[in-house]
Structure 1
């Protein structure tokens, strides 16, 4: 590993500073700083590439070694490495023809030209003064999926090092203060290093990208290592854990850690609006929608013009099927912050639910213009196709995204769902397999659900195809049917358990309705379908076209339920028109 090592005697983390020419690479802070104290901002791959060259200096690093260390989980070619070297040189103001920093050795690899001075720093892996902050820091199970230089554990700096780091990282602190959350206490007017770390973390959190979110977690944790009573940092930590679960497939354990961090923030500062907003987001990830609404309302009681709390309320109301309320709150948020890309996406999603697809597309376009790489906006674009029954376009959209970003399981899920609606059941099964081994149990559960529903549809349409699918095993059709029945029963029990644990998500009730439908248990299917509609499920076209409800589609009770669903959707449309 190139960013820190572990002492064999104490287990403490050892970080390094590499000084060469006018640059200093600090693996503890994850920064590259020039002598003029200006930070050179590097993308993650460029940072990792430079770290490998620093560690090996003055030696030559072969192309094979660089590919192995910089892209350990991805197969890439020499051209990708060349392009990354080019980008790194551009960031360093280096010239390939007359290099100052990076020299290419034909047929052998690359090396750093300047002399590299290496100093180390030992950082304890545990601090007795910060139990919750250390406990809430979860390392990835495989040790590879998260950027290594974000893996800070604590900061026990001497006064001199504090001053150096403060200057090096935050020479532009005036800019950071200008971006401080509108709800921050006035006591932050003269921030210390703990607050500077918090501000830096807040900036990374609001970029809504996986690597930036992980960096935010480390910065919030580092701020708490300096000041265990900084409620804002606990709130930020809670938000980052929730965002990891909601958007980036983080482990389910992060759900509880988000709640714990929010509780800690409230305990430290009961008047902190961000803390209640964070608690609401953490509740949402647990499926506790009404509790999430109440927590965000409490945040607005503490700070009336809090646009993030408004956006969250609007998003949750949409999931509850209360679309007129959803639009009211999101419009309030956008009035306060017109260029907030996430609010734009939430408005588009509510317009999709209202079946106002042209306006929804306008807001998706706006969100993507503000943040072209937004995972949330790109996923919502796929939903825009799905809700119109444009399954071929949805499939093409999700396929391209899953190729460009193979680790983003939201896009794989969207691809499998599109294939299911298109009747490509075997493809849906194969695509769903990519979700089954996810570290996030929620994603794995959705993968199992899609695979089970696709297998049921495949079995119904053509038993021979199901037999062919498992022909490489030693089983027979009856054994496969038995295994499939067991899988369906296990899934049914898991979703029922979610409801018993307090989930009031319509999606969970709908999943049970679909599972009972493919098991030909119509009474149970209707029970949970009615519950899903009462909890706010309004996507009539998606439901009527779903292959899992073939056994219900021609039943008069199903027709009556669809009429009820349409009446509720019509009521929401009218309420929305009246408030415009």
Structure 2
């Protein structure tokens, strides 16, 4: 007869992990009765690991179970694990609670044990029933304890054998391609391209594959320094998809993206707006359009679009960066800084977070902090021409022309097809032929007048005309930038590229005109929205 006695049942709500008490229901972690600061995503990550016992949990599973429907990268998981370890007081080099398994994922260092739960206080049973109830409960508990002990003994001899997890459903070729494309890293984008290519070889004309490949080709140009010919290929694929399915919103969005990545701002907006007319719930497309409204100086329209999403904002990549940029231009640098700083900390694999935070610090004259943030961004491996352009301007400000030239040349090497890095490298290299500078400025101005490029591209014309010795034309080009929608007065004041112009009355008049237009945009934004976005957390 089993002699083990028990008065409490096991629960899957509270667990002991080493010296930690983990309460899944209350979302609370304690050590020696003191609560630890484990909350939000960190707690959800811990919860899933606890529920898996001491099984190794892979990155894909963690992303699906903890972050979904948001799309994140493995680096985001790594950073969240780092935050969880900090909250637990764990050391990744000598882990006590959570260890990494190279090439696989993460695993708890010991198996968490479910804890018995104390029976909650309830109203007493009627007096006449209580003795009989106690006997019945004791009998049941004893029976369960004996059965549990027998089961444990049967299992103990084979407890060292691994328990196979249920085999997950195998994703299709297109699903796997879309997953890699969604991560936002160069290597994964290339994997996605290979898979989309395979899908098209297996089924020529497949619209999903056409659009996936189109977006991935555009991403090569927008994110990973490929030449614009890839965006032209992306355009052709999107147009093929539109021909097959004219009312498909994602096809028009892909077409807009192909134009966006080549600086064709009006064509891009036409594609995005057509997509939104077909599918008003397409939040990522709305955010893409909002970015271009911002570039055109339509700050109120951009902010309203960014804050009028139909679904979960966490699923829209770069949303907080876009909101931060607009708030900064509207005169709310503290609210912008909080978003930039958080994005930089949480998304080290996000190329635009790595650019935006040091650039914000630079624009506000915090050059020492900007240099430190830029150094960290460079170590993260998200190479982008804009990082080296910023490095060059910082070098100019500290009086290091050799370092500035080296950085400009690195930016040019990353984007040899882009005009601005080549121009700035040429100007920094030494004496400039005024005839060359004038011809280059005139060619670029004609392209901009024909509808190509962003308003900010007029700033390249400004520096070229100044280098050609035509200051009046340079100042007129600055006003053209403002008229076209350029709205960043802070950058104009701090950049070494405009030092020679800053003392001119016409420069001040252009900046004043810029500020008046920003003030007009500010008045268009509902006060309640600004109050919500700028409130202290």
SS at match of 1:286: coil
Q: Does 1:415 align with 2:415?
A: no
1:246-271 C-alpha deviation (Å, 9 max, x unpaired): 11101221121111111111111111
**Structure 2 residue aligned with 1:569:** 518
- Pick 1 or 2: higher relative contact order, CA cutoff 8 A, min separation 6: 2
Match of 1:448 in 2: 422
**Larger-Rg structure:** 2
Change (3 A) 1:398 1:500: same
1:202 has 2:178 as partner = yes
- Map 1:68-467; keep pairs closer than 5 Å: 91=104, 171-173=168-170, 196-333=172-309, 336-368=312-344, 371-405=347-381, 407-438=383-414, 440-442=416-418, 445-455=419-429
Deviation larger for 526-535 or 338-347: 338-347
Q: Is the 8 A contact 1:334 1:344 kept in 2?
A: no
Whether contact under 8 Å (1:420, 1:454) holds in the other structure is no
Aligned ranges for residues 545-556 of structure 1 at < 5 Å?
Answer: 545-556=494-505
2:467 maps to which residue? 518
The change in CA–CA distance for 1:354 and 1:273 in structure 2 (over 3 A counts) is: same
* Aligned-residue offset at 1:316: 0.7
Q: Distance in 1 between matches of 2:105 and 2:363?
A: 47
| Displacement of 1:541 | 2.3
Query: What is the CA distance between 1:366 and its match in structure 2?
Result: 4.7
Distance 1:490 1:424, change over 3 A: farther
Q: Distance in 2 between matches of 1:454 and 1:391?
A: 20
Cα offsets for 1:503-554 (capped at 9, x unmatched)? 1411221210121123221232133212211121111122133334344333
Partner deviation per Cα, 1:442-478 (whole Å, 9 max, x = no partner): 2xx33223324445xxxxxxxxxx6xxxxxxxxxxxx
Distance 1:554 1:92 in 2: 57
Alpha-carbon distance between aligned partners in 2 of 1:278 and 1:408, rounded to the nearest angstrom: 22
Q: Partners of 2:464 and 2:427 in 1: how far apart? A: 7
- Aligned partner of 1:188 in structure 2 is none
Match of 1:536 among 478, 485, 493: 485
Q: Deviations over 1:113-150 (max 9, x none)?
A: xxxxxxxxxxxxxxxxxxxxxxxxxxxxxxxxxxxxxx
Residue segments in structure 2 that go unaligned for 5+ positions in a row: 1-55, 61-98, 107-166, 530-537
In structure 2, relative to structure 1, the CA distance for the partners of 1:489 and 1:402 (3 Å cut) is farther
Q: Give 1:281 deviation, angstroms.
A: 1.2
How far apart in 2 are the matches of 1:90 and 1:255? 34
Q: Secondary structure at the match of 1:206?
A: helix
The CA distance in 1 between the partners of 2:511 and 2:191, in whole Å, is 46
For 1:322 and 1:213, the matched residues in 2 are separated by 32
Flag the 1:534–1:329 CA change in 2: closer, same or farther, 3 A.
Answer: same
Distance 1:250 1:529, change over 3 A: same
Assess, with a 3 A threshold, how the Cα gap between structure 1 residues 356 and 550 changes in structure 2: closer, same or farther. same
**Change in CA separation of 1:345 and 1:390 when aligned onto 2, cut-off 3 Å:** same
Aligned CA distance change for structure 1 residues 396 and 488 (closer, same or farther; 3 Å): farther
Q: 1:519 to 1:486 in 2, by over 3 A?
A: closer
Mapped to 2, the partners of 1:568 and 1:433 lie a distance apart of 35
User: Offset at 1:579?
Assistant: 6.8
State which drifts further: 320-329 or 383-392. 383-392
- 1:314 Cα deviation from its structure 2 partner: 0.8
Q: Quote the Cα distance in structure 2 between the aligned partners of 1:200 and 1:556.
A: 58
Give the gaps of 5 or more residues in structure 1: 1-37, 43-85, 94-169, 177-195, 456-465, 467-480
How much does 1:408 deviate? 3.7
CA separation in 1, counterparts of 2:344 and 2:411? Answer: 26
Q: Write the distance in 1 (CA, Å) between the matches of 2:310 and 2:395.
A: 35
Contact 2:363 2:494 (C-alpha < 8 Å) held by counterparts: no
> Counterparts of 1:546 and 1:559 in 2: how far apart (Å)?
15
CA distance in 1, matches of 2:262, 2:215: 14
Change (3 A) 1:171 1:387: same
Structure 1 CA distance, aligned partners of 2:265 and 2:208?
24
Give the secondary-structure state (helix, strand or coil) at the position aligned to 1:543: helix
Q: Over aligned residue pairs, what C-alpha RMSD do you find? A: 3.1
Alpha-carbon distance in structure 1 between the residues aligned to 2:185 and 2:362: 25
Q: In 2, distance between residues paired with 1:320 and 1:244? A: 24
Separation (CA, whole Å) in 2 of partners of 1:217 and 1:197: 11
The offset of 1:211, in angstroms, is 0.9
Q: Contact between 2:295 and 2:454, CA under 8 Å: does it hold in 1?
A: yes
